[in-house]
Every structure is written in structure tokens, then in C-alpha cells.
Amino acid sequence: MKLLKLITLLIVFYSCKAQTKLPALIINKNDNSLLWEVSANGLAQPSYLFGTFHLMCKNDIHFSSQLTSAVSRSEKVYMEMDMDDPATMLGGLMLMNMKDGKTLEQLYTAEEYKKIESYFSDSLHTPLSFIQSMKPFFLEALLYPKMMPCKTISGVEEELVKVAKLQKKEIKGLETMEFQASVFDSIPYEEQAKELLKSIDSMATNKKDFDTMMNVYKSQRINDIEKLFTKTELGLEDHKNLLLNNRNKNWVIQLKTIMKTTPVFVAVGTGHLVGKKGLIALLRKEGYTVKPLLNQ
């Protein structure tokens, strides 16, 4: 056996041994938490759920000692995709374009296209000609920094990867980049283009909505998060099964097998946790005990 492999096995072994000496995690008195413990139903050790927010001001991203302890108790960290795999990110760049040679110019009237072209050039300093073939939903993500009151932007997943690496935890994905790209291919490009134009026309309103969502997330008011995700103006309602519900079902199927063999820390967008068809409710329906943990 190679020395490096032996050292890795020893690190994992002593990491698991050390878990028995960790103090018990504190259960929260109410549901206002982004961090949840999944136990019982045949699990030898608890696993954990954590709700993320994909883009935030970096200074607003803080991890509690309870969260880092939950990561240390877990053998693997699961995210929507494997954020530690360079091939995933590289593959994502190749899958961002529309199929069949579609271009943005084909999706708009001349007047609409000129409006979008001007916005990307003047406000985002990005010539639309460089991203002519990109799916409109991916382009919509480029608008988010304009809604944020900071220059240094990061993602909760990105910062969590650093925590996982520091603790030498393997990072895995519940989905592939190919699958996520296929989800957006299932939504007509014309509809995506309409949403992009609507977002540009409503930037002031969108900024207020984004601020509200950010404040709710930071205060961990999970019931209010559920209400926000039922608002039709967020552009999710018509495709909620595709973007949220169906994926949640698939993840629970995977987690039932994964959690049985090893304790894991699962970090996915907070919208996937909440509601009657969210991960918390689905796991409880499967017989697991899902409790909120103090996360301050």
C-alpha cells in the first residue's frame, strides 16, 4: 500500500474516532435554523442538512461552531454538484450554451434585443456578442451582482468547500453539471428570454425582493423563506416541479442509501429544504427524525 494512501486512511480513522469525543449538538427551540439534524430510522449516526444561498456578500457569510462541528462529524460533504471537481466547472462552461445553434438575437424583437444589448454593455460592461449563445437563465445570474451592496461576492457553497477541505472531507455531488444543464434545456428558451427581459425592466423591484430574501436568509426564518418561494414573481411557480420538487425526490432516494452507510453533511439551496415537498418534509415522511439545530 502506498504511503499516501495509508496516511489518508489513518486520517479518516482518527477523524471518526475523534467524533465520539465531540459535545452534543444543541437543538434549536424553534424552526428558525438553516442547519438540521437527520437521525433515527436505522441510521447508526446522524447526518445533517444545511440550506445555502448561492450568491452573497462575502462579509455576510459566517459559519457557526455548530455547523463546523456537524461537518466534522460527517465523513463526506454532499452539495448539488461536486464543487471541488475542476472538470465540473469546466464542463459547465461548455453546457451553458443553447442547443441547435440558437442565439439571443433570434429570441427577441429588434427593439428588445437593442435594450438588452445596451444594458449588458452599459451596466455590466459585457458585450452581448461574447455571450450570444448562452442560455438566458444563466445570463440572468449575471444581474445579481447589480442587486448587491458590496463588491466582494462569494457563495455559501464556495466558502463551505474551504471548510470541508480544511477538515479533509471528501466533497460529492447529488447531480452532475450535465443534469443541471438539461433542466434549463427543458424550459423553452423563449420563456427564459422573456424572464431575462422582465428582470432587466424590473431591476429596482428585484433589488428590493433580493434584499428581503437576503435578510430572511440571514435571520434563518425558514418559514418566511418558504413563503418567498411561493411568490409567482420569482419566476419559479410554472416550473416548480422541474426546478425543485422532482429534484428533491431524487435526492431523498439517494440520501436514503448514502446516510445508511455513512454520516454526511448535505448543503443545498435553502429553497430545497422548505415546504411540503421540501427535503425536511420528505425525509420525515420516510420515517427520519429531522430536528433544527442552533446555528448562531
Task: Please report the pLDDT score of residue 162 as a whole number.
Answer: 95
- pTM, entire model: 0.86
pLDDT score at 242: 85
Give the pLDDT confidence of 118-166 residue by residue, as tens digits. Answer: 999 999 999 998 899 999 988 988 898 889 888 899 999 999 999 999 9
Give the per-residue pLDDT at 260: 96
And the C-alpha cell for 249?
425526490
Mean per-residue pLDDT, 76-89 = 84
The mean pLDDT of the chain is 86
Helices (H), 189-273: 189-201, 203-218, 222-228, 240, 246-261
**Predicted pLDDT at 8:** 33
Residue 157 grid coordinates:
457553497
- Indicate left, alpha or beta for 71 from its phi (over 0: left) and psi (-120 to 50: alpha): alpha
What is the per-residue burial (b if ≥16 Cβ within 10 Å, else e) of 102-128? bbbeebbeeebbeebbebbeeeeeeeb
With beta carbons less than 8 A apart as the criterion, state whether 39 and 286 touch. no
Element (H, E) at 13: helix 3-19
Is the C-alpha dihedral spanning 88, 94, 99, 102 positive or negative?
positive
Give 83's pLDDT tier (boundaries 50, 70, 90).
confident
pLDDT higher than 80, residue 65: yes
The percent of residues above 90 in pLDDT, for the chain, comes to 62
User: At how many degrees (to 10) do helices 177-185 and 86-95 cross?
Assistant: 20
In the chain, what percentage of residues exceed pLDDT 70?
Answer: 87
Q: Is 160 left (phi over 0), alpha (psi -120 to 50) or beta?
A: alpha
Q: What is the pLDDT of residue 163?
A: 96
Residue 184: per-residue pLDDT: 84
Average pLDDT over residues 19-33: 77
Strand stretches in 95-159, DSSP E = 153-154
What pLDDT does residue 196 have? 94
Residue 88: pLDDT band (50, 70, 90) is low
Q: Do 78 and 265 contact (CB within 8 A), yes or no?
A: yes
**Within 13 Å and on the Cβ side, how many CA atoms surround 174?**
24
pLDDT digits (tens, 9 = 90+) for 188-231: 999 999 999 999 999 999 899 889 989 999 999 988 888 776 65
Residue 296, Cα to own-chain centre: how many angstroms?
20
Q: What is the pLDDT of residue 85?
A: 76
pLDDT of 18 over the 70 cut: no
Residue 4 or 35, more confident? 35
Nearest of 257, 266, 116, 80 to residue 192 by alpha carbon: 116
Give the span between the Cα atoms of 154 and 76, in whole angstroms: 22
Report which residue type is found at 171: I
pLDDT, average across residues 41-67:
95
DSSP character for 97?
A: B
**16 pLDDT higher than 50:** no
Q: What are the counts of helices (DSSP H) followed by strands (DSSP E) for the chain?
A: 13, 8
